[in-house]
Amino acid sequence: MPVNLVAPNPADLHPVPGVEIGIAMAGVRKANRRDLTVFTLAEGSAVAGVFTQNRFCAAPVQICREHLAAGAAIRAMVINTGNANAGTGADGLARAQRSCEALAGALGISATQVLPFSTGVIMETLPVDRIVAGLPAALADRQAAHWHAAAEAIMTTDTVAKAASRQVSIGGATVSVTGIAKGAGMIRPNMATMLGFVATDAKVSQRVLQHLAREAADRSFNRITVDGDTSTNDSFVLIASRQASHAEITELESPEGAALREAVIAVAQQLAQAIVRDGEGATKFITVRVDGGRTKDECRLVAYAIAHSPLVKTAFFASDPNLGRILAAVGYAGIADLDPSLIDLHLDDVHVATKGGRHPAYQEADGQRVMKQAEITVRVDLHRANGPNAAHATVWTCDFSHDYVTINADYRS
Amino acid sequence: MPVNLVAPNPADLHPVPGVEIGIAMAGVRKANRRDLTVFTLAEGSAVAGVFTQNRFCAAPVQICREHLAAGAAIRAMVINTGNANAGTGADGLARAQRSCEALAGALGISATQVLPFSTGVIMETLPVDRIVAGLPAALADRQAAHWHAAAEAIMTTDTVAKAASRQVSIGGATVSVTGIAKGAGMIRPNMATMLGFVATDAKVSQRVLQHLAREAADRSFNRITVDGDTSTNDSFVLIASRQASHAEITELESPEGAALREAVIAVAQQLAQAIVRDGEGATKFITVRVDGGRTKDECRLVAYAIAHSPLVKTAFFASDPNLGRILAAVGYAGIADLDPSLIDLHLDDVHVATKGGRHPAYQEADGQRVMKQAEITVRVDLHRANGPNAAHATVWTCDFSHDYVTINADYRS
């Protein structure tokens, strides 16, 4: 059951001029499943991507990196579900390459202008013949309004399609920012999640777009975790079709750059949080905020230790204020010179612990009240730095339920 | 259901001359539960301890460290279940200290000659008055033959008592090595597990005993993980009553030292593996061995990434050879320059992956056969070093089942 997450209304998703999307059934893993998605991008589009840091990265991720590095303008993307094409060695690379070549041939472009993406089971051979056979139908299906259909087509164990959209005024022009993403397990993105696609028609330089893609990933997909498993296929792509009529944005610090940044990050955060809300088996949406650190990195260490602890996550599932488990996670997070006697712990507005121990005014009934909520904020103050020197970090996660075990014990069957 | 683990037969546990154990009901958390254990050690005993690296370490752990550092001969230990006395601040320290003082008073020794241990729920006030009131009954109960009763008294969510015992001939004398331990959740010991006690009557110097305690912990309790949560209370204590008639062991490299080392490590490994076999919700016992690393540390990184992955652990629970999840964990373990195209993966005798992809001869039926077993060895060869330069590491873990969630969602209720 997703946490406070409803399927997007197709009418709320603004088409992005210059971006068309087509979907088809290729039978990659299951028959009668819309499992193949094609994006085509107008001439002049700029594309930036960030990808998994998993060393066992999937064949399509390797090819995306190569094609983006080659520098030819990206004009199309091909995405399949049902098979991750990861752990497939040289043969997997050849198969991903073949899907790019087939799409390039149909569009009259070069294969290096195509980015491939795959999601699904690892270490199985990609049925590339079926993907190639499905391309004509996907191309014929293309429309600018197909964002919602694409959000559905890229789902695996997701239970709700994930899409977000904004419009923002830039230099007198109305600019759209629309994106889709999918989860729902093997989610602890390191660079970006598998898969997120956000497009805008803003006129923005390639350099600025690349910066913005990294910042948006870092403030959204890179701050979520469902199970701590960093996927082999994480990919986040930010597309600018550059068709809006405003003057080109060449600095993020300009008023126009700031407006675009805010819209892109808002869409990316909404998508990233949607992945957590629909995390495998999730019943709670948890925000973990750590304040008072000396560096952002040490705040993240602590936030992730809490967010990954199976004991903390099962306590949230049970609505059990067994909050010593959070202190234990703070203690083993890896800050060697941490002084536990300085630490404060809040659960929403409830002050649970202070100076390394239970707060004198803390009542279990107050903890219980917050733990029963569907959305909970855990706030830890390390008191290792204060005022403007203090770093902080926020991570979003979900609880750990019976359904997580059920889903992952049954995923392939 | 513990995996291939049966309760020890009391008759198989050799008493250790110079070590007496008494148990009583103190009502720490529940009535009519034998929850208080006292050890008394003969004059001349040597004691070495290794403790949790969790910065939020419990009050009794802090006091154990102080008392061992103070250098007075340790003559007694007091152990309670039902309350961890962790996350309890200065008040917790005072309460742990009071339990030492009460036991010291009854025995006519100094409080610094007593080591305190607690296990149970975190961040609750230790009912030290009830512990002090229970001490006379525990002292009156003392016998050298009470190892089995103590193994039962220290259990929390353990389903089977854990004890191991050996006898070894050293310099013509028959020497006993007997130990007990408890798990079963918050288990990813970092120095030692909560709690392990091993005693021998071997005549061994304090310096050698300290070395042996660290080596034994490092090759047993520090190589297991149930859920990746490093406890606040992990403590491993190695006791030598020094009553055996052989000449004093002053070097572990001597034949006598080697005989003692082998017996102590065998007992420690049997206890550590028993904790995994009885890990919360465990249905499988998994050995993860990583070969071909450049350093032991990087082999351990990979082994723990596999052993902690919820996706890998649920696949074992389901007996589902979804083995790409293991490759994904290898990839995100944190070796920045890992070359995935070199990696081999075996599941027992089945060669699953080679050169970064599925082995040509691998059949899913073979993977399925091994996955259905109760004991499975995962073997990864990184091929980053060969021959005598290659490092390796072994970690023992269990699967992740519905019962883990149930146990930890219900633990306090």
User: By C-alpha distance, which of B98, B86, B279 is closest to B185?
Assistant: B279
Residue A296's pLDDT band (boundaries 50, 70, 90)? very high
CA A80 from centroid of its chain's CA atoms: 17
Residues B116-141 have pLDDT tens digits of 999 988 888 999 999 999 999 999 99
pTM score: 0.84
Structure tokens at A5: 């997450």
The number of C-beta contacts closer than 8 angstroms across A and B is 236
Q: Which residues in chain A (159-178) have CB-CB distances under 8 A to chain B?
A: none
Residues A330-365 pLDDT 10s: 998 989 899 989 999 999 999 999 988 899 999 999
Cβ pair B318:A190 closer than 8 A: no
Check: CB of residue A188 under 8 Å from CB of residue A176. no
User: Residue B225: its pLDDT value, please?
Assistant: 83
With beta carbons less than 8 A apart as the criterion, state whether A98 and A91 touch. no
Q: Please answer whether residues A401 and A381 qualify as being in contact, where contact means their C-beta atoms are separated by less than 8 angstroms.
A: no
Choose, from A193, A200, A230, A354, the residue flagged as catalytic: A193
CB contact under 8 A, A356 and B87: yes
- Which of A87, A317, A331 lies closest to B57 in CB terms? A331
Rounded distance between C-alpha atoms, residue B395 and residue B303, angstroms: 6
Spatial distance between the Cα atoms of A232 and A55, rounded to a whole number of angstroms: 8
As to burial, measured by CB atoms within 10 angstroms (0-12 exposed, 13-18 middle, 19+ buried), residue B388 is exposed
Residue type for position B123: M
Share of chain A above pLDDT 90, in %: 71
Mean pLDDT throughout A358-373? 94
Is the pLDDT score of B413 beyond 50? Answer: no
- pLDDT value of residue A413: 46
Are A401 and B406 in contact (CB < 8 Å)?
Answer: no
Query: Which pLDDT tens digit goes with each residue over B336-361?
Result: 899 989 999 999 999 999 988 899 99
Three-state DSSP class for A313?
helix
Mean pLDDT score of chain A, rounded to an integer?
91
Q: What is the ipTM of this complex?
A: 0.80
Write out the two tokens for B352.
Answer: 């699953």
pLDDT above 60 (res A191) = no
Cβ contact (<8 Å) for B355 and A328? no
Nearest to A23 by CA among A138, A185, A176: A138
CATH 3.10.20.340 matches B285-410: yes
Q: Helices A402-410 and B402-410 meet at what angle, rounded to 10?
A: 170
Say which of B54, B56, B123 has its CB closest to residue A323: B123
Class level of CATH domain A10-277: alpha beta
Task: Flag whether residue B322 sits within 8 Å of chain A, measured between CB atoms.
Answer: yes
Q: Write out pLDDT tens, residues B157-168.
A: 888 999 999 999
Residue percentage of chain A with pLDDT more than 70: 98
Q: CATH 3.60.70.12 occupies which residues in chain B?
A: 10-277
Q: Which residue of B has its CA nearest to A321?
A: B412
Average pLDDT over residues B195-224: 90
Residue A81 annotated in active site? no
Bond from prior residue into A342 cis (ω within 30 degrees of 0): no
Nearest-CA distance A383 → chain B (Å): 15
Q: What is the pLDDT of residue A60?
A: 94
Say if residues B389 and A291 touch (Cβ distance below 8 Å). Answer: no
Using CA coordinates, name the residue in chain A closest to B413. Answer: A320
CATH 3.10.20.340-classified regions of chain A: 285-410
